[in-house]
């Protein structure tokens, strides 16, 4: 965009922002707080779109991670706005990506237009998934009055974050991911220490079925596993002893935060991924051993102080990882919830019952309503859209893995680090989706889609690596 045109555009939007903000202030003064907040968001969105057009939409990618890692307020709740549907912070990030990309494409000359997102997962696999998903959403709307714009539709709409990922360069992606995850690790350590000191928790799911209390949210465990792997990968190419010590410190802090979540599924996955990273990148293990003596005093100090600060930490962790599923009330609840949803699947295994059909069951004389999501998002999709939707979703995951593998084989060291980390964290999300509420949380679903699309930042001159880029995606074909 020409500088003069950009200046005029931003000036116009700033003026509109001030006018709308004044109107919003007047509404707030008259005590119509919800409407005032809704009006106030309009100028903020306009200014944000203008800034994104003038700079780089890729910041939205890191904002998706930051929502889950750094947000001081819960992002699982919708925003307090009244527009007929529930609006989440993650919805705004996707909307900003779509609108800012479209505006930049229209306002810039042809030679300066932003690139189109190109990835195999955005091609025919996404078309098949979209067809099955929309059919299930419409079926649920007609039969049960389920809202058309609800959690199921976000499974498709959030692919729109591709319009932010397509502007991202590999070096920028890796550098900023490290910065966000390291900052998030320090933040979560602070939250955990505060929780241990005050006896509070960062989540409303406090009581553990195996005894004890949770300090950090279970979803935080997934990101701390990602931070741990990221710190280990950074050791392979680090030449500075001081920075290597920083990476080891971050690995230790991420491990502490991971333990503070008491999230067993992530414990199990991390116990596989960490040795795998040492096997794939052999220098990581050698450098870890070489620099580990630098952290020995801190390890000894933590071993002495942590049990005194919270004597229940180690016993709770031990009980958490050694508990038998047969005596675990949560495990039994999940099995009963799976059975209740599976009964719905059996009634319509091919096309599904449609989203919105209530699922209730009784456990220990208590009636539960799991709304088709028995802490297993694969069963959730199968119940709502049948084998067609379930199969197309699995196909989407397989295509992602194949594309990531193709790019990994032809990538540089930095590209391999990014893809290994992306696939590892993606795997953590997938496994946790089998035992928890992950993909039906908008903020986590957005991160999942970011992970599915980040491999497109890894490019190579070799044709085998650029093959996914040669085939235009469904989004590219529609826009072009």
Query: Into how many domains does the chain fold?
Result: 1
The Cα 384–Cα 390 span in angstroms is: 9
- Taking only Cα atoms into account, the Rg of the chain, rounded to an integer number of angstroms, comes to 24
Residue in the block written with tokens 């220490």: 193
Phi and psi (nearest 5°) for 434? -80, -15
Across 180-184, 235-239, 251-255, 268-272, least confident range:
235-239
Nearest CA among 442, 434, 366, 367 for reference residue 397: 434
Can you say whether the dihedral through the CA atoms of 257, 259, 261, 267 is positive or negative? positive
The Cα 448–Cα 157 span in angstroms is: 13
Percent of the chain having pLDDT more than 90?
33
Q: Is residue 170 part of a domain?
A: no
The Cα 101–Cα 56 span in angstroms is: 10
Q: Is residue 103 part of a domain?
A: yes
Q: Is residue 195 part of a domain?
A: no
* Predicted local confidence at residue 202, as pLDDT: 81
Are 82 and 197 contacting, i.e. CB atoms less than 8 angstroms apart?
no
| 436 confidence band (pLDDT: 50, 70, 90) | confident
Residue 132: how many CA atoms within 13 Å on its side-chain side?
26
Percent of the chain having pLDDT more than 70?
72
The Cα 370–Cα 380 span in angstroms is: 10
Apex 92 CA angle, 126 and 15, nearest 5: 135
Q: What is the pLDDT of residues 189-243, one digit of tens each?
A: 999 888 888 888 887 777 666 666 788 888 899 999 999 999 999 988 877 778 8
The Cα 29–Cα 6 span in angstroms is: 34
The Cα 332–Cα 335 span in angstroms is: 5
Q: Is residue 87 part of a domain?
A: yes
Can you say whether the dihedral through the CA atoms of 180, 181, 182, 183 is positive or negative? positive
State the helix-helix crossing angle for 170-198 and 413-433, rounded to 10 degrees: 50
| 79 confidence band (pLDDT: 50, 70, 90) | confident
| 39 confidence band (pLDDT: 50, 70, 90) | low
The Cα 356–Cα 137 span in angstroms is: 8
270: its two tokens? 């991390």
The Cα 410–Cα 408 span in angstroms is: 6
Q: Is residue 175 part of a domain?
A: no
* Predicted local confidence at residue 480, as pLDDT: 41
The Cα 162–Cα 81 span in angstroms is: 26
Q: What value does the mean pLDDT take over residues 70-84?
A: 67
Asked if residue 470 has pLDDT above 60, the reply is no
Report which of residues 120 and 103 the model is more confident about.
120
Q: What value does the mean pLDDT take over residues 91-105?
A: 86
Q: What is the pLDDT of residues 403-415, one digit of tens each?
A: 999 999 988 888 9
Nearest CA among 209, 246, 224, 280 for reference residue 69: 224
Q: Is residue 185 part of a domain?
A: no
Asked if residue 401 has pLDDT above 80, the reply is yes
Q: Is residue 24 part of a domain?
A: yes
Nearest CA among 71, 115, 123 for reference residue 447: 71
- Residue 36 structural domain: 3-117
Are 287 and 235 contacting, i.e. CB atoms less than 8 angstroms apart?
yes
Nearest CA among 290, 220, 306 for reference residue 257: 220
The Cα 58–Cα 53 span in angstroms is: 11
Written as one string, the DSSP assignment of 27-45 is HHHTT-HHHHHHHHHHHHH
The Cα 356–Cα 139 span in angstroms is: 9
Residues in the chain: 480
Q: Which helix (H) or strand (E) holds 361?
A: strand 360-363
Asked if residue 12 has pLDDT above 70, the reply is no
* Predicted local confidence at residue 364, as pLDDT: 76
In the DSSP assignment, the letter for residue 145 is -
The Cα 327–Cα 317 span in angstroms is: 16
Asked if residue 291 has pLDDT above 70, the reply is no
* Predicted local confidence at residue 298, as pLDDT: 59
Q: Is residue 65 part of a domain?
A: yes
* Predicted local confidence at residue 355, as pLDDT: 93
* Predicted local confidence at residue 420, as pLDDT: 95
Asked if residue 30 has pLDDT above 60, the reply is no
């Amino acid at each position: 965009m020409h500088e003069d045109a950009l200046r005029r555009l931003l000036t116009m939007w700033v003026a509109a922002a001030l006018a709308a903000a004044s109107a919003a202030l007047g509404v707030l003064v008259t005590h119509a707080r919800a409407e005032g907040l809704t009006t106030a968001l309009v100028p903020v969105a306009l200014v944000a779109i203008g800034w994104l057009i003038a700079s780089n939409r890729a910041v939205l990618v890191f904002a998706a991670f930051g929502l889950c890692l750094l947000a001081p307020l819960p992002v699982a709740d919708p925003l307090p706005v009244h527009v007929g549907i529930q609006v989440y912070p993650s919805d705004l990030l996707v909307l900003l990506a779509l609108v800012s990309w479209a505006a930049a494409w229209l306002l810039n000359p042809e030679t300066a237009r932003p690139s189109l997102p190109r990835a195999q997962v955005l091609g025919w696999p996404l078309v098949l998934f979209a067809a099955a998903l929309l059919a299930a959403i419409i079926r649920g709307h007609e039969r049960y009055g389920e809202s058309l714009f609800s959690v199921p539709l976000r499974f498709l709409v959030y692919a729109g974050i591709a319009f932010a990922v397509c502007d991202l360069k590999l070096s920028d992606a890796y550098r900023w991911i490290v910065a966000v995850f390291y900052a998030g690790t320090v933040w979560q350590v602070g939250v955990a220490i505060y929780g241990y000191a005050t006896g509070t928790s960062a989540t409303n799911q406090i009581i553990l079925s195996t005894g004890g209390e949770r300090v950090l949210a279970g979803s935080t465990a997934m990101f701390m596993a990602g931070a741990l792997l990221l710190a280990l990968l950074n050791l392979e190419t680090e030449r500075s002893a001081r920075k290597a010590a920083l990476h080891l410190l971050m690995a230790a802090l991420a491990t502490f935060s991971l333990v503070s979540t008491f999230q067993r599924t992530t414990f199990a996955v991390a116990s596989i991924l960490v040795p795998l990273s040492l096997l794939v990148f052999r220098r990581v293990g050698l450098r870890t051993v070489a620099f580990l003596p630098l952290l020995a005093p801190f390890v000894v100090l933590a071993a002495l102080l942590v049990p005194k600060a919270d004597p229940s930490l180690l016993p709770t962790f031990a009980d958490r990882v050694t508990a038998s599923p047969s005596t675990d009330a949560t495990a039994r609840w999940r099995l009963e919830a799976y059975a209740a949803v599976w009964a719905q699947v059996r009634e319509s295994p091919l096309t599904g019952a449609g989203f919105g059909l209530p699922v209730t069951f009784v456990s220990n004389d208590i009636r539960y309503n799991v709304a088709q999501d028995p802490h297993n998002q694969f069963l959730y999709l199968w119940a709502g859209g049948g084998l067609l939707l379930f199969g197309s979703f699995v196909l989407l995951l397989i295509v992602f893995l194949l594309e990531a593998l193709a790019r990994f084989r032809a990538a540089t060291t930095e590209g391999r680090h990014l893809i290994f980390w992306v696939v590892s964290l993606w795997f953590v999300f997938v496994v946790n989706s089998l035992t928890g509420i992950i993909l039906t949380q908008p903020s986590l679903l957005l991160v999942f889609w970011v992970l599915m699309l980040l491999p497109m930042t890894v490019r190579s001159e070799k044709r085998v690596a650029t093959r996914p880029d040669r085939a235009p995606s469904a989004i590219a074909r529609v826009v072009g």
